[in-house]
A and B are shown apart, each in its own frame.
Chain A
């Protein structure tokens, strides 16, 4: 029962991006296309699951004074793994995600889950939490990326949706840096309204 709860809370109720506003840097940077968002989401979820697993496994061994450096080394190890695997098998994706692959190390979501959840919960719950948070993060990135790719390029997952007439004169700003900030601000505002409605009904 609590396993399911640990899993589902990351998807909406404690969604790392929309509710907790964490992990903003990769979130804003790689959402120029849905493909990049899915790639980043998969990479971050993998690192999150592995680091939560190890941190939870060693939670009674790691001395609390040096726990943060330990977590960072654990996270950095898996990030290096992802970096090398992606470079070997998905070189195009690796190139378009660029420095944001090594920067998964300093993603606040991953360190936050290690410090805030995995270091005082059993292994299975920690994995459930990591999977939920990873899906929540990926979902949030896909939502923003869909808007940006659709408005800025007229495509979704590289498939032409809005027709070539739109593609000749797309809303280019959506795919540039300001588009990420502005669209995210509207999405956050939308979630605030949603939350208020829900609160009012209860």
Chain B
């Protein structure tokens, strides 16, 4: 395959109807992924890290950054694998297996590269990287992008916005949980139950965004 064919394949839309760059649609995707369909609070993706890593603000920010980074990479990898490999070969039923393998190996690769070239960043993000393989938000965004028939550009925007939405929920939760430590909670509700209750109230707040951005 020569480079121009590869490039045009990358830029072509799968549904070929809405080719090109549409700022309105892009804004709609960004707002929908961050607020209206927030990955954690509306779509229920990535609940495990949402509860596990939201005890401190610093680790919440670290996890959020790692998730945005891996989401963008995973989207790139899964999009290319789906449209350049699985579709031409008629193997789309293998997409789940292909995506999870791509994500797992990407995470491993990122971990090795960071360890080698940026020890500072590695020590900040390192402990979160292995957790990300089983973060359903990453596989979720890859599957959603294929389901929605987004182009590569839209997929990337969607992935980064979804990551920002996840980080936003995580940071808000971390801030609330730090205060919750000092609150007088009934003993039966301590820990996970009250965390879910707080998430529920946050989710009500996010319901207010419904209808925004179409």
Interface residue? B96 (CB, 8 A): yes
In the complex, the number of residue pairs spanning A and B with C-beta atoms less than 8 Å apart equals: 121
Q: List 15 A-B contacts (CB under 8 A).
A: A21-B192, A22-B48, A25-B46, A72-B104, A79-B96, A80-B93, A99-B140, A102-B143, A106-B136, A107-B136, A177-B41, A180-B200, A181-B199, A182-B197, A185-B197
13 other contacts beyond A102-B95, A180-B44, with CB at 8 A cut-off?
A24-B47, A29-B43, A29-B45, A76-B100, A77-B97, A80-B94, A84-B93, A99-B147, A105-B139, A176-B207, A179-B200, A180-B200, A181-B197
Q: Are B147 and A185 in contact (CB under 8 A)?
A: no
CA distance A77 to B96 in the complex (A): 8
Identify whether the interface residues of B are mostly helix, strand, loop, or mixed.
Answer: helix
Interface residue? B196 (CB, 8 A): yes
Interface residue? A192 (CB, 8 A): yes
State the Cβ distance, B106 to closest chain A Cβ, in Å. Answer: 12
CA distance A80 to B204 in the complex (A): 34
State the Cβ distance, B32 to closest chain A Cβ, in Å. Answer: 15
Task: Please give, as numbers and ranges, the residues of chain A lying within 8 Å of B45 by CB-CB distance.
Answer: 25, 29, 103
CA distance A196 to B201 in the complex (A): 27
Closest residue of B by beta carbon distance from A84 = B93
Task: Please give, as numbers and ranges, the residues of chain A lying within 8 Å of B47 by CB-CB distance.
Answer: 24-25, 28
Closest residue of A by beta carbon distance from B138 = A106
Q: Are A196 and B188 in contact (CB under 8 A)?
A: yes
Against B, the Cβ 8 Å flags (1 = close, 0 = not) of A54-83 are 000000000000001100110011011001
CA distance A163 to B195 in the complex (A): 34
Q: Are A24 and B48 in contact (CB under 8 A)?
A: yes
User: Could you tell me which residues of chain B, from 183 to 206, have a CB within 8 Å of some CB in chain A?
Assistant: 186-190, 192-197, 199-201, 203-204, 206
Task: Please give, as numbers and ranges, the residues of chain A lying within 8 Å of B99 by CB-CB distance.
Answer: 102
| Contact surface of A with B, Cβ cutoff 8 Å | 21-22, 24-26, 28-29, 68-69, 72-73, 76-77, 79-80, 83-84, 99, 102-103, 105-108, 111, 173, 176-182, 184-186, 188-190, 192-193, 196
How many interface residues does B have (CB within 8 Å)?
45
Task: Please give, as numbers and ranges, the residues of chain B lying within 8 Å of A21 by CB-CB distance.
Answer: 51, 192
CA distance A181 to B193 in the complex (A): 9
CA distance A76 to B194 in the complex (A): 34
Q: Are A189 and B193 in contact (CB under 8 A)?
A: yes
Closest residue of A by beta carbon distance from B94 = A80
Q: Are B96 and A83 in contact (CB under 8 A)?
A: yes
CA distance A102 to B98 in the complex (A): 11
State the Cβ distance, A63 to closest chain B Cβ, in Å. Answer: 16
State the Cβ distance, A28 to closest chain B Cβ, in Å. Answer: 4
Task: Please give, as numbers and ranges, the residues of chain B lying within 8 Å of A76 by CB-CB distance.
Answer: 96-97, 100-101
Q: Known: A73-B101, A181-B199. Is A192-B147 also a contact (CB below 8 A)?
A: no
CA distance A111 to B144 in the complex (A): 22
